[in-house]
Amino acid sequence: MRIHPGKDDLEELTAAWTGERFGSGRPRVPDDVLATLKLATTEEAWGHLFQAGYVRQFAGGWRETHPGTVIVGRAVTAQFLPHRPDYDAVVVAAGAREGHLEGDRQNSWVIETLESGDVMVVDIFGKVVEGTVVGDNLGTAVASRTGVGAVIDGGIRDLQGLQKLPGEVNIFHRDVDPTPIRGVTLAGINIPIRIGGATVLPGDVILGTPTGVAVIPAHLAAEVAATSEDTRIRDVFGKQRLSERRYTSAQIDVPTWADDIEADFQQWRKENA
């Protein structure tokens, strides 16, 4: 058994991605794509993914440590299962072979793998009581390593401390409880997991907004970024032309503009590039 899949396993799991990868084999979506996606809305991302046939890429119903702070980053996934002694012994032995100390809590094993621009995404089956993946200490470690945050389908603790984390950090979670994490065993790191109704693969781009969490497959991230940017530019043009009364709302508020309006837009875009 392995806690971390091998490089070949990760490349096979994410074979649709043909770009740069981390040494582990996890897809590395470029920073400029992440920067563009941070300006995207959930609806813009969802719309492109839906049209591409990815119809289960959103999970809602979250609490946030920093409400309103949008996060974008590359997923490092982890899954926890209800504790079972014989299985836990196997995991501890596998962790030791991979360099994890037996005395360390298994949630810290996940945090040790994080890099700048990552989002820690944890499936702990919605467990809140004794399912608190981070408190203010481990949350500080997540923030300092990633500069982004986490998505935890379970609980957190020390909310008051977590709310003091500096920078544009946000931790999406289901609820808060004062108990420490226990009664669970780590199933793996950078494996396929489920968050709400969405499947998350390592290297997927996580877009967390006040609406919820969109999961963007790595190989579609650049397309989603470009589509969302085009939509934003069209919105600026449309509102300007409406304020100038050059077109009616019926002409602008349609899926596809008439040829003359599209030509006007393309010329406006060149002039305002």
Q: Which parts are annotated binding residues for substrate?
A: 135-138, 157
Token pair for residue 140? 């500080």
Q: Got the DSSP string for 130-156?
A: T-EEE-HHHHHHHHHHHSSEEEEEEEE
Nearest residue to 69 via CA among 174, 123, 177, 150: 150
Helix boundaries (H) for the chain: 7-13, 31-37, 42-51, 85-97, 106-111, 136-146, 159-162, 221-243, 249-252, 259-271
Q: Cα–Cα distance between 80 and 187 in angstroms, integer?
A: 5
CA distance 118 to 146: 5
SS3 217: coil
- The residue whose two tokens read 């065993």 is 185
3-state secondary structure 241-266: HHHCCCCCHHHHCCCCCCHHHHHHHH
Binding residues for Mg(2+): 158
Residues annotated within the binding site are 135-138, 157-158
